[in-house]
């Protein structure tokens, strides 16, 4: 891993990704799929509000395992503009979701549990192919 040193400081290591230099550790998620079910608005104990939703993404033939034909991915939106965008959508709408994968910890049945979800920074409707 190449590291540059200037005036006693170190820069983050980089790796070539699709021909561009990027810092190692990039967390970028892009989903294109259909909204599944209703969008839930949740008020956290802190008073913050988030929208929780799921996106169903079809698997390609090469990535199918155990007969599963789709992945259902949990997503959340915390920014007001992103929440407004998702709340204008309905179950079955085709959407593009851009964000980052996050692991969230919470208490359930007296123990600590966790789950992964996409923290959406952009949600837009896309033209349906069907």
Identify the CATH number of the domain in which residue 54 sits.
2.40.50.140
Does residue 130 sit within a domain? no
Does residue 98 sit within a domain? yes
Residue 22 CA, chain-centre distance (Å), reads: 20
With a cut of 70, list the residues of the chain below it in pLDDT.
1-23, 129-130
Q: Which of these, 130, 129, 108, 103, lies nearest to 118 by C-alpha position?
A: 103
Spatial distance between the Cα atoms of 3 and 55, rounded to a whole number of angstroms:
39
Q: What is the pLDDT of residue 72?
A: 96
Q: What is the pLDDT of residue 6?
A: 46
Determine how β-strand 20-23 pairs with β-strand 14-17: antiparallel
Q: What is the pLDDT of residue 107?
A: 84
Global pTM value: 0.76
When divided into structural domains, the chain yields a total of 1
């Amino acid at each position: 891993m190449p590291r540059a040193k200037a005036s006693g400081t170190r820069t983050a290591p980089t790796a070539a990704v699709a021909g561009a230099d990027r810092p190692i550790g990039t967390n970028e998620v892009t989903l294109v799929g259909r909204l599944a079910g209703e969008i839930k608005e949740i008020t956290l104990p802190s008073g913050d509000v988030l929208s929780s939703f799921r996106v169903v993404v079809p698997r390609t033939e090469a990535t199918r395992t155990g007969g599963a034909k789709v992945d259902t991915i949990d997503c959340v939106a915390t920014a007001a503009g992103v929440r407004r965008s998702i709340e204008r959508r309905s179950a079955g709408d085709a959407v593009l979701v851009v964000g980052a994968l996050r692991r969230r910890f919470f208490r359930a049945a007296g123990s600590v549990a966790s789950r992964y979800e996409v923290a959406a920074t952009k949600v837009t409707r896309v033209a349906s192919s069907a």
